[in-house]
Amino acid sequence: DTGVSQDPRHKITKRGQNVTFRCDPISEHNRLYWYRQTLGQGPEFLTYFQNEAQLEKSRLLSDRFSAERPKGSFSTLEIQRTEQGDSAMYLCASSMDIPQPQHFGDGTRLSIL
């Protein structure tokens, strides 16, 4: 069990640029989640995949955000035309079936200049 892996750990970009983050879940986990965490707050749910199907998206996920999980393995989260308000830690988590706990990666910290 190598844990949930996220890449990159830190991304600095200029406002208006596109960014893409990658998440590699624990291999036997069929559920994958993306959350966003800002300083001093708990994580906020963004989206959920079961295998390759994206089954739920938060209202927080504007049309500038898109997530994929091709072949039900790794997942990517893309943010287009980044804005200052996108600065946050983006966390990926994976799990077996409910009610098993979600295992979180170390996150990607996004800083918008």
Partner 1 sequence: ELKVEQNPLFLSMQEGKNYTIYCNYSTTSDRLYWYRQDPGKSLESLFVLLSNGAVKQEGRLMASLDTKARLSTLHITAAVHDLSATYFCAVDSSSNTGKLIFGQGTTLQVKP
Residues that bind partner 1 (CB under 8 A): 4, 31, 33, 35, 40-45, 48, 55-56, 91, 93, 95, 98-107
Contact 65, 42 (CB under 8 A): no
DSSP structure class, residue 22: E
- Closest separation between CB of residue 108 and partner 1, Å? 11
- Closest separation between CB of residue 96 and partner 1, Å? 10
Q: Look at the block and give the residue holding tokens 């749910």.
A: 45
Nearer to partner 1, 28 or 98 (CB): 98
Return left, alpha or beta for 10; rule: phi > 0 is left, psi -120 to 50 is alpha, else beta: beta
Q: Look at the block and give the residue holding tokens 């938060």.
A: 58
Q: Return all residues near 110 (Cβ < 8 A) that are at least 6 apart.
A: 11, 13, 19, 21, 79, 82, 86, 87, 88, 89, 90
- Closest separation between CB of residue 35 and partner 1, Å? 8
- Closest separation between CB of residue 10 and partner 1, Å? 11
Nearer to partner 1, 25 or 43 (CB): 43
Nearer to partner 1, 63 or 97 (CB): 97
Nearer to partner 1, 1 or 14 (CB): 1
